[in-house]
Amino acid sequence: MHLTLSVRRGLTIIAGTLFSFAVVTPVLAELSVDLRCSELQVGTYPDASRCNTASIPSTSPTPGEIYSTALSGSDGGNAFSAAAIGRADYGTLGVSAFAAATNTTVAVSSSADTRTMQTLASARSGWIDTYTVGGVGGLVAIQVDMVVDISAFSQAQSDGMLSTAYLTFSTSNYGPGWCLGMGTTACSGASTLQEGTNNLSFIAYLDAGSTGVWQSSLYAEAQVYSEGIGSGEVNINALNTVHSYFTVLTDGASMGWSSGNDYSVPSPVPEPEIYALMGAGLGLMGWAARRRKQQVA
């Protein structure tokens, strides 16, 4: 059982890597949301049909719209629930995955009424955009900045139940990707994310005058399973979310996008303290002007 789950998780990771770094013919732009939540039965693979995925687009979802799917139920005194949520926009991604299961009876393969409940929830969101680098000759340096907010990453389990979860983020021109995991080897070789705000940055070098595809993918998987009695729960929430920004560092160069999206770093909004200082400064200037008028008079 555990070998089967490990192999399946390995295949999931490989598939995720291929999704993130596949060679794509430069086209316009595309968003994707892929959600899965399934009941796992002892000794079997997930049955994706248990989730209502008919209304969840695998490609070209509405930008920024939140998509979700869930299932829950009980059988022979055992209970399961799972939920997957995802959203995608150009430069912005979000996912959330939740899985829970309670086993009150031990699995008996000959009786469907006494099988254990094991659940899996996974959510992936991604964006692809074609860029064109403006400039004359040589390489253009592009600074890529990303903010990854992980608001919840929790695990609870008792008795013989096992819980695993991981969250990965990958983007073009950065091979290893980033990952946060518990009870899994999915993060091997990747840079570590943490719960809270993660500020990621690197420099990409692109040929002046070139056209290519940039893509990013965010994936979350939550799994609870056991062949024995117990309960478990895993929750991953990174729905608010990954933000990607691009800054051209080379003088005279530029970067345009097929989607028309502006990936530039937003201008900082003055803090309330700054407004207060500005107000005080204006007040002081007004007082000084009145003083000068009084002295002249």
- Model confidence pLDDT, tens digit, residues 268-294: 644 455 445 445 555 555 555 565 555
The mean per-residue pLDDT over the stretch 224-230 comes to 82
What's the pLDDT score for residue 124?
95
Taking residue 130's Cβ as centre, other Cβ atoms within 10 Å add up to 20
What's the pLDDT score for residue 180?
95
**Are 116 and 32 a contacting pair, CB within 8 Å?**
no
Q: Is the pTM of this model over 0.85?
A: no
- Measured between alpha carbons, how far is 112 from 57 in angstroms, rounded to an integer? 33
Which residues partner with 124 through β-bridges? 34, 219
Q: What is the pLDDT of residues 20-30, one digit of tens each?
A: 333 334 458 99
Whole-number percent of the chain with pLDDT over 70: 71
Instruction: Let me know if 90 is exposed, middle or buried by CB neighbors in 10 A (0-12, 13-18, 19+).
Output: buried
Residue 50 has pLDDT above 60, yes or no: yes
What's the pLDDT score for residue 72?
87
Residue 119 has pLDDT above 90, yes or no: no
